[in-house]
């Protein structure tokens, strides 16, 4: 007859086995608890580090955004009187505005995009510096041209008081030639010389006349050969022309006879020149006048009195 376990013994045995299993599971349980604590600590550390990194990136984004908005204000404040630069400025302002919108929509954690925005900001700053340099240069040039025009007007006003004929010619010329490129002269002088090559005021001793003048400095005038013509008139207003040859030139659409001429190489700097009038057989007493010209302008007049 098979053995039948007593119910009380079976209960005791099961209780013992349960306690033995619990004793064997305790180390595993403690190990799992320790692992869970370590993992929780690691996750907490990672979360804290990530939060700090995100905060730093948010600060960097805010700083970059403020710099771009400040640059936008600088572009808005920049103005120019020149249409070509204004057109370029409008294009650059639009680029800055688009950059502001893009950075606002971009997550701070998108570091690659943020680096790209930083480069765009640097490029737009360089472009703005170039605009400032261009505007300053053009303003400087404009001020210089304005000053030159003002000086020309003052000189014309003084000439009108001294010589009505010269004023009429200057006014006619000013309508045809840009004021900034017209050659001007100063120190125009007419002198008479005797056979000993000395200055004289005795009409009976004069063998030639000399006209001297200086072409003044002008950065805007064309460079190269310039021919200066003189028209010397006797006391009766008759043009003196050497018998050996006649010289003529076109002036404001009219052909004028010249007493003599000379060509010089003008390079924008002040240059002195002298023009002799030879071959006139005799000189009378009275006032002789000389008018100096280029093909584009009348340079001025001078007189000398012979006794």
Domain boundaries, the chain: 7-136, 182-306
Q: pLDDT grade, residue 22 (50/70/90)? A: low
Write out the DSSP string of the chain. ------HHHHHHHHHHHHHHHHHHHHHHHHHHHHHHHHHHHHHHHHHHHHHHHHHHHHHHHHHHHHHHHHHHHHHHH---S-HHHHHHHHHHHHHHHHHHHHHHHS-TT-HHHHHHHHHHHHHHHHHHHHHHHHHHHHHHHHHHHHHHHHHHHHHHHHHHHH-HHHHHHHHHHHTTS-GGG---EEEEEEEEE-TTS-B---GGG--EEEEEEEEPP-TTSPPEEEEEEEEEE-TTSPBP--TT--EEEEETTEEEEESEEEEEEE-SS-EEEEEEE-------SEEEEEEEE-SS-EEEEEEEEE-
182-306 is classed CATH 2.40.50.140: no
pLDDT of residue 58: 80
Q: In what order do the strands lie in the sheet with 224-233?
A: 260-266, 224-233, 286-293, 298-306
Question: How far apart are the C-alpha atoms of 75 and 85, rounded to whole Å?
Answer: 12
Mean of pLDDT over the chain = 82
Structure confidence by residue, pLDDT tens digits, 229-266: 999 999 999 999 998 767 889 998 889 999 999 999 99
pLDDT surpasses 70 at 195: yes
Q: pLDDT grade, residue 171 (50/70/90)? A: low
Q: pLDDT grade, residue 173 (50/70/90)? A: very low
Question: How far apart are the C-alpha atoms of 16 and 132, rounded to whole Å?
Answer: 94
pLDDT of residue 75: 81
Average pLDDT over residues 267-287: 94
Question: How far apart are the C-alpha atoms of 68 and 128, rounded to whole Å?
Answer: 13
Structure confidence by residue, pLDDT tens digits, 106-154: 877 778 888 888 888 788 888 878 888 888 887 787 778 777 777 777 8
- In 10 A of CB 256, how many CB atoms? 16
pLDDT surpasses 80 at 30: no
pLDDT surpasses 50 at 174: yes
The pair of structure tokens assigned to 263 is 């060509």
Helix axes 111-162, 164-174, angle to 10 degrees: 150
Residues with Cβ < 8 Å from 75, sequence gap 6 or more? 89, 92, 93, 96, 128
pLDDT surpasses 90 at 95: no
pLDDT surpasses 80 at 39: no
219 phi, psi to nearest 5 deg: -65, -20
Q: Decide: 115 and 57 in contact? Cβ < 8 Å.
A: no
Half-sphere exposure in the Cβ direction for 205 (13 Å, CA): 14
Average pLDDT over residues 200-223: 93
């Amino acid at each position: 007859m098979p053995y039948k376990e007593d119910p009380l013994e079976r209960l005791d045995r099961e209780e013992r086995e349960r306690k033995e299993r619990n004793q064997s599971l305790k180390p595993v349980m403690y190990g799992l608890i320790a692992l869970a604590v370590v993992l929780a600590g690691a996750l907490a550390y990672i979360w804290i580090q990530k939060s700090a990194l995100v905060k730093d990136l948010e600060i960097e984004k805010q700083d970059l955004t403020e710099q771009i908005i400040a640059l936008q204000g600088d572009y808005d404040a920049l103005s120019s009187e020149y249409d070509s630069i204004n057109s370029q400025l409008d294009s650059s302002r639009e680029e800055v505005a688009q950059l502001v919108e893009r950075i606002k929509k971009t997550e701070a954690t998108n570091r690659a995009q943020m680096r790209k925005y930083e480069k765009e900001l640097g490029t737009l700053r360089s472009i703005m510096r170039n605009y400032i340099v261009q505007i300053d240069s053009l303003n400087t040039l404009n001020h210089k041209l304005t000053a030159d025009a003002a000086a020309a007007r003052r000189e014309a006003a003084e000439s009108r008081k001294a010589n009505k004929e010269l004023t009429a010619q200057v006014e006619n010329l000013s309508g045809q030639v840009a004021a900034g490129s017209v050659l001007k002269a100063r120190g125009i002088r007419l002198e008479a010389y005797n056979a000993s090559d000395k200055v004289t005021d005795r009409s009976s001793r004069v063998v030639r006349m000399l006209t001297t003048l200086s072409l003044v400095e002008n950065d805007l005038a064309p460079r190269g050969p310039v021919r200066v013509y003189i028209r010397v008139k006797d006391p009766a207003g008759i043009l003196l022309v050497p018998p050996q040859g006649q010289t003529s030139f076109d002036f404001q659409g009219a052909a004028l006879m010249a007493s003599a001429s000379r060509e010089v190489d003008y390079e924008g700097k002040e240059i002195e020149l002298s023009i002799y009038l030879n071959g006139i057989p005799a000189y009378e007493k009275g006032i002789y006048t000389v008018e100096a010209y280029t093909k584009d302008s009348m340079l001025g007049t001078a007189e000398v009195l012979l006794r």
